[in-house]
Amino acid sequence: MVVFPNCKINLGLNILRKRADGFHDLETIFYPLPFCDALEIIPGESLQFIGSGIDVPGNPADNLCLQAYHLLKKDFPHLPPVQIHLFKNIPIGAGLGGGSADAAFTLKLLNDKFQLGIDEDALLQYAAVLGSDCAFFIRNTPCLATGRGEILEEIDLNLGNYSFLVVHPGIHINTGKAFGKIKPGVPAQPLRELDLKAVERWKDILVNDFEAVVFDEYPAIRAIKEKMYAEGAVFAAMSGSGSAVVGIFAKNKITGSLWEAGYRVFKKV
């Protein structure tokens, strides 16, 4: 069975405060986009993980897909060994949540394939153990996220009448280091109080707190955002802690040549 873990983008990202557990309280809007990896799980004689596509740094044994398997195996000892094949297409360290999506889709696929009977609430709890934004991919619908990103509230936000441009400049952002440079603070107006229907006003009201620290270190990422606006974007912002930048355009109005700079580009028209 093959599924296609998709990415997410952040629309606004406020870092509110550092918590006693070392994490940060935040608020953001997660929005799914169909920029995907491919994940296949089949029964095997022993547990095996095979990666292809974009190279994932680190020990393959620590891959989030395997962590998701082991997490379920603790509570479902009858879960058989499997062969997991992940084709990695979503860039690493881009702020697009690719690894979290892979983990969440592994949970869902194992649950469905082996009829474990885990309901959505329990899947959300498992996902939150694996990562702060993993839970989003269990629901995979526009959500206001709070806490460290695992507390989700579905919102009515449909951007189907717009086109999206996602540009990844090939820069890997260390999220932990980026958090360390942030000065947390509560905004004057919380995200839930903003008029999210007025997309043309987002440029003035949605802020990603990571942009200031990341743009200072990597001016090329700032330049991508500026070029998107110069080429007609209704809204442009870095996603998560970066380095991918997302531009929202009027339907079928993506123009320009950002992809000619050698960047990785994804378009949803």
pLDDT tens, N- to C-terminus, the chain (269 residues): 899 999 999 999 999 998 988 888 999 999 999 999 999 999 999 999 999 999 988 888 889 999 999 999 999 999 999 999 999 999 998 999 999 999 999 999 999 999 999 999 999 999 999 998 999 999 999 999 999 999 999 999 999 999 999 999 999 888 888 888 888 989 988 998 998 888 999 999 999 999 999 999 999 999 999 999 999 999 999 999 989 999 999 999 987 766 667 788 999 98
Which residue reads 């599924």 in tokens? 3
- Domains of the chain (ranges plus CATH)? 2-154 (3.30.230.10), 162-268 (3.30.70.890)
Contacts of 189 (CB under 8 A, 6+ apart): 205
pLDDT of residue 98: 96
pLDDT of residue 99: 96
* Cα 119 to Cα 108: distance, rounded to the nearest angstrom: 10
**CA-closest candidate to residue 164, choices 105, 96, 103:** 96
**CA-closest candidate to residue 141, choices 33, 242, 39, 65:** 33
- Token pair of 75, please? 């509570």
7 Cα distance to chain centroid: 5
Tell me if 198 sits within 8 A of 192, measured CB to CB: no
Burial degree of 65 (CB within 10 A; 0-12, 13-18, 19+): buried
pLDDT of residue 173: 87
Would you please indicate which residues are annotated as catalytic (active-site) residues? 8, 133
Tell me if 242 sits within 8 A of 209, measured CB to CB: no
- Token pair of 96, please? 């697009």
**CA-closest candidate to residue 55, choices 211, 170, 204, 195:** 170
